[in-house]
Amino acid sequence: MKLPSLKNVLVAGAIALGATATINQPSQAESRQGFYCDTSGNKPVTVYTNFKGVSEPWIRWTSNYFRDAGYNKLTRCQDVSHRLETYRHNRELKFITVGKMNGQNVICTANQVNGRCENLILTLKPSEDGVQALNNILAWRQAGAPPLSKSNRMPYVDLRAHLGIPKE
């Protein structure tokens, strides 16, 4: 009786392992839950997919203002989407507001209304109005949400209910 060669055994093992890995792969919806940069259209979009698999655009990347600094639309989409997902995963994405970091106008996270700017989401152009930018970039808010009002107080967008983060 002829025994199978070591090569044949290794090939069969590799095929079996590959089949097992393929079977255990998460579905497309599972692997895309949370924030990611969608490049399927003509412009990159930061998208959020909730636990039910419902996706919504958050930030449509249209400006190339930071291109000379090495941040084109795609790079910004990928970086910001990754930051948002990290903050969401760490339960640090409770409120979004505007503020300053390193002398630059930014959109950032805050832990509470009137809280300080905690984590950078994205940097704004030097002359850009932060309240208007916050109002414009959150594409999901545009579906019937009232605009943010500009006042002496900074705007805070409460994301907890929208992201399924329990209020403390």
pTM of the predicted protein model: 0.74
- Domain-embedded: residue 8: no
Within-domain flag for 116: yes
What domain range includes position 78? 28-163
Q: Which pLDDT value is given to residue 143?
A: 55
Residue 137 lies in a domain: yes
Question: Is position 4 within any domain?
Answer: no
pLDDT digit string (tens) for 87-98? 999 999 999 999
Note whether residue 111 is domain-resident: yes
DSSP string for residues in 14-38: HHHHHHHHHHTPPPHHHHT-EEEEE
pLDDT of residue 45: 94
Pairing of β 45-49 and β 157-158: unpaired
Whether 158 is covered by a domain: the verdict is yes
Strand locations in the chain, DSSP E?
34-38, 45-49, 55-60, 95-101, 104-110, 120-123, 157-158
Tokens, residue 97: 């507001």
Span 52-71, average pLDDT: 88
Considering only CA atoms, which of 76, 82, 162 is closest in space to residue 119? 82
Is 49 inside any structural domain? yes
Does residue 14 lie in a domain region? no
Q: Residue type for 116, please?
A: R
CB 32 within 8 A of CB 50: no
Q: How far apart are CA 132 and CA 140, in angstroms?
A: 15
Q: What is the pLDDT, as a whole number, of residue 27?
A: 35
pLDDT (tens digit per residue) in 99-158:
999 999 999 999 988 889 999 999 999 888 888 888 777 766 655 555 554 444 678 888
Domain total in the chain: 1
- What is the rounded CA–CA span in Å between residue 35 and residue 162? 13
